[in-house]
Amino acid sequence: VAAASKPHVEIRQDGDQFYIKTSTTVRTTEINFKIGESFEEETVDGRKCRSLATWENENKIYCKQTLIEGDGPKTYWTRELANDELIL
């Protein structure tokens, strides 16, 4: 259901510091992080994880997520700005 809904994404950037708010009909998430510093967040399905965001290129952030407890598939997310369009 969440994958089928079109999210509203708000991004604020100050250098390498980011605030990202993602809202869907199912839930809203907010994260604050700095590129290159680990931070805690939740995976799409609500599991707590430690994340590390890095620049993949000058317009794309790659964020690797590692579960804090338990096992599961390796997860990540990306955000890319291309031609004034945000690609999730």
> Phi/psi of residue 26, each to 5°?
-90, -45
- pLDDT grade, residue 45 (50/70/90)? confident
Residue type, 83: N
pLDDT tops 80 at residue 1 = no
Residue closest to 39 by CA, chosen among 28, 27, 53: 53
Mean pLDDT of the chain: 90
CB 25 within 8 A of CB 4: no
- pLDDT grade, residue 3 (50/70/90)? low
Domains of the chain: 8-87 (2.40.128.20)
Q: What is the pTM of this model?
A: 0.83
CB 10 within 8 A of CB 28: no
